[in-house]
Amino acid sequence: MRDEHRFADLGILDIAHKVHAGERLSIDDGHRLYACPDVTAVGALAHMVRTRMHGNAAYYVVNRHINYTNVCVNGCAFCAYQREKGHEGGFELTVDQALERLRNAPLPPREVHIVGGCHPDLTLAYFEELLTSVKREFPDAALKCFTAVEIAHFAALEGLSTRGVLERLKAAGLEMLPGGGAEIFEPSVRTRICPKKSTAEEWLRIHGEAHELGLATNCTMLFGHLEGIGDRLDHLDRLRRLQDQSLAKGEEGFTCFIPLPFQTENSAIKVRQPLTGTDELRTIAICRLMLDNIPHIKAYWVMLTVKQAQAALFFGADDLDGTVVEEKIGHMAGAQSQQGLSKSALEAMIRGMGLEPVERDARFRPISQPHAAKCWTDAPSPATLDGLLD
Ligand code: V47
Ligand code: SF4
pLDDT at residue 369, as a whole number: 58
82 Cα to the center of ligand 2, angstroms: 6
Contact (Cβ atoms closer than 8 angstroms) between residue 205 and residue 161 = no
Three-state DSSP class for residue 160: coil
For ligand 2, say whether the CB of 71 is within 6 Å of any of its atoms: no
Ligand 1 in reach of 303 Cβ (< 6 A): yes
CA distances from 260 to 9, 100, 249, 284, 325 (A): 32, 29, 29, 9, 19
For residue 377, what pLDDT is reported?
29
Instruction: Give me the pLDDT at residue 166, please.
Output: 98
Pocket of ligand 1 contains residue 109 by CB under 6 Å = no
* Residue 79: closest CA among 193, 192, 189, 182: 193
Query: How does DSSP classify residue 378?
Result: G
Q: How far is the CA of 80 from the centre of ligand 2 (A)?
A: 9
Find the ligand nearest to 304 CA.
Answer: 1
Q: How many CA atoms lie within 13 A of 332 on its CB side?
A: 14
Please tell me if the CB atom of residue 40 comes closer than 6 angstroms to any atom of ligand 2: no
ipTM: 0.99
pLDDT value of residue 373: 36
180 alpha carbon to ligand 1 midpoint, in Å? 5
pTM score: 0.94
Q: Residue 334 gets which letter from DSSP? A: T
Strands (E), 184-310: 216-223, 254-261, 296-297
Backbone angles phi and psi of 71, in degrees to 5: -80, 130
Strand partners, 143: 112, 174
Please report the atom of ligand 2 found closest to the CA of residue 81. Answer: 3
Q: Is 285 in the pocket of ligand 2 (CB under 6 A)?
A: no
* DSSP annotation string for 167-203: HHHHHTTEEEE--TT-S---HHHHHHH-TTSPPHHHH
Q: Which residue has a Cα nearest atom 17 of ligand 1? A: 180
Question: In tens digits, what is the pLDDT along the chain, a chain of 390 residues?
Answer: 778 999 999 999 999 999 999 999 999 999 999 999 999 999 999 999 999 999 999 999 999 999 999 999 999 999 999 999 999 999 999 999 999 999 998 899 999 999 999 999 999 999 999 999 999 999 999 999 999 999 999 999 999 999 999 999 999 999 999 999 999 999 999 999 999 999 999 999 999 999 999 999 999 999 999 999 999 999 999 999 999 999 999 999 999 999 999 999 999 999 988 999 999 999 999 999 999 999 999 999 999 999 999 999 999 999 999 999 888 888 999 998 888 999 999 999 999 999 999 999 999 999 975 433 333 223 333 333 333 332
CA 110 to ligand 2 centroid distance, Å: 26
